[in-house]
Amino acid sequence: MTKILLLSDTHSYLDDTILKYARQADEIWHAGDIGTLSVIDDLRKIKPVRAVYGNIDNQVIQKEFPLNQRFFCEGVDVLITHIGGYPPKYNAKTRTLIDENPPKLFICGHSHILKVMMDKKRDILHMNPGACGKHGFHQIRTMLRFKINGKDIKELEVIELGKR
């Protein structure tokens, strides 16, 4: 079983509460708009990090991380990108990726809106953890955590970090 902390849109911001939850995870996944590489450096001191770059991330971060990340965590096929849209209204690039080879779990950030929903047509679980940074229009900073056990995604929790 693998415990995942999923966050996005840090915009160069980390605090002790985020780090506390990071220590409880086995892996940290970041869905882009990291802000500065020091965010990743601080998270990597705690646990392994998988990340993609977002639209505000500079070339240093873009050299470190891909636009899309596709991998297996245990038996779950995962696709992470920053700007992806929502079922069924994916952006064109995301729709092509998903239609060619659907993952079981599709993760994106960008919107600063926490959302978890099924794409019933494609049998894909979609997650957007919202934003845990302080920059943006969101009112409450959020993250997600969940467990992957074999091919099962379970014990999904919304973590509210307070007002931005």
Q: What is the pLDDT of residues 26-67, one digit of tens each?
A: 999 999 999 999 999 999 999 999 999 999 999 999 999 999
Burial of 130 (0-12, 13-18, 19+ CB in 10 A): buried
Amino acid at 116: V
Q: What does the pLDDT look like over 79-96, one tens digit per residue? A: 999 999 999 899 999 999
Peptide bond into 66 cis (omega under 30): no
- The pTM assigned to this predicted structure is 0.96
Domains and CATH numbers, the chain: 2-163 (3.60.21.10)
CB atoms within 10 A of CB 53: 24
In whole angstroms, what is the distance from residue 127 CA to residue 46 CA? 23
Using the predicted structure, report yes or no on whether residue 135 has a pLDDT greater than 90: no
Centroid of chain to Cα 20: 17
